[in-house]
Amino acid sequence: MTASTSSHTPVRVTVTGAAGNIAYSLLWRIAAGDVFGPEQPVHLTLLEIPDAVRAAEGTAMELADSALPLLHGVDVRDDQRAAFEGVNAAFLVGAKPRGKGESRSDMLEANGKIFLEQGAAINAGAAEDVRVLVVGNPANTNAYITYKAAGDIPRDRFNALMRLDHNRALSMLGQKLGASPAEFSKVAVWGNHSDTQFPDITYATLRGERLADQVDRDWYTGEFIPRVAKRGGEIIEVRGKSSAASAASAAVDHMRDWVHGTDGRWVTAAVPSASEYGVDEGLVFGYPVVGRDGAWEIVEGLEIDEFQRPRIDANIEALRGEAEVANRLF
């Protein structure tokens, strides 16, 4: 699976947590061609824990009933080694969601071990071109655990989902300024998929004009930044459950752009850091990125001012703390 070739051999895609809320939307988008393209057949493997395999089988039955032309086949598994054998793209969704009043990092204890095991299984059997997108929370540190457990695979094949934060930022800006999300350029979300994240408009434009000149500074600092950062909690409060369809949609955006590129457009992805912008090497950090030739390139050479620096640093600090906890799993 590369950006440039349209192969008619099915791409093998594994989705974990296949009986859960996010998967119920994500699987259909993948099978409809929204990620790998309208001519690329897909084979789906649905991974669940034994207690939820029956429910995942029901999901597989519904996929079959949808008669989707690109869907080449569906397997349901509870065995991780089998689930990741030959996989080209993995969406690691299966993990406990937080409830009201919990933070995403509270989930590290419950969820971290899942990613340790799945990283090892991916290492054992994945295809050479594998791409792994971690969605289960705390997503950045779970991606860190996964790539560390998959030591034979280049770490740049492991990402965490921060596209939902990016999309939320675009949507809120659009609502405020009466614009479509597509009219904004160079918006980015730095850091961790947590309340410390920093949605940043320093470099952004709207219809080619500098965005910072068009938004009220107090709204930007007092409302926009915290509301984007806390939107997941707001959804839980209102919906009673964590975001699902919007998370699936963001996962589709992320994997599609990773595979096919962004044509120079900036988006946000959490990727293993090579110390860009002072981030500890190895932390999985949200950066402005461009998709090119089937890989992400972090946008480099940006000047970081005194408003941005402490906000980026707060995320480095938070992820460093999570990594310390995660390192105890090894």
Cβ neighbours, 10 Å, residue 67: 7
Is 193 a residue of the active site? yes
Please spell the DSSP secondary structure of 239-297, one letter per residue: HSS---HHHHHHHHHHHHHHHH--TT--EEEEEE-SSGGGPPTT-EEEEEEEEETTEEE
Beta carbon of residue 23, minimum distance to ligand NAD (angstroms, whole number): 6
Beta carbon of residue 18, minimum distance to ligand LMR (angstroms, whole number): 18
Rounded to 5 degrees, what angle do the CA atoms 79, 44, 91 make? 75
Could you tell me which of 120, 285, 95 has the C-alpha nearest to residue 190? 285
With beta carbons less than 8 A apart as the criterion, state whether 19 and 56 touch.
yes
Of the residues 8, 43, 166, 193, only one is catalytic, namely 193
Give the residue, chosen from 164, 267, 279, 289, that forms a contact with ligand LMR under the rule CB under 6 A. 164
Using CB under 6 A, which residues numbered 172 to 201 contact ligand LMR?
193
Q: Does 268 bind ligand LMR (CB under 6 A)?
A: no
41 binds, among ligand NAD, ligand LMR, none (CB under 5 to 8 A by kind): none
Element (H, E) at 311: helix 308-327
Beta carbon of residue 244, minimum distance to ligand LMR (angstroms, whole number): 9
| Interacting residues toward ligand NAD by CB under 6 A | 16-17, 19-22, 47-49, 52, 93-98, 114, 135-137, 139, 161, 164, 193, 242-244, 247
Using CB under 6 A, which residues numbered 82 to 101 contact ligand LMR?
97-98
Give the residue, chosen from 104, 157, 163, 254, that forms a contact with ligand LMR under the rule CB under 6 A. 104
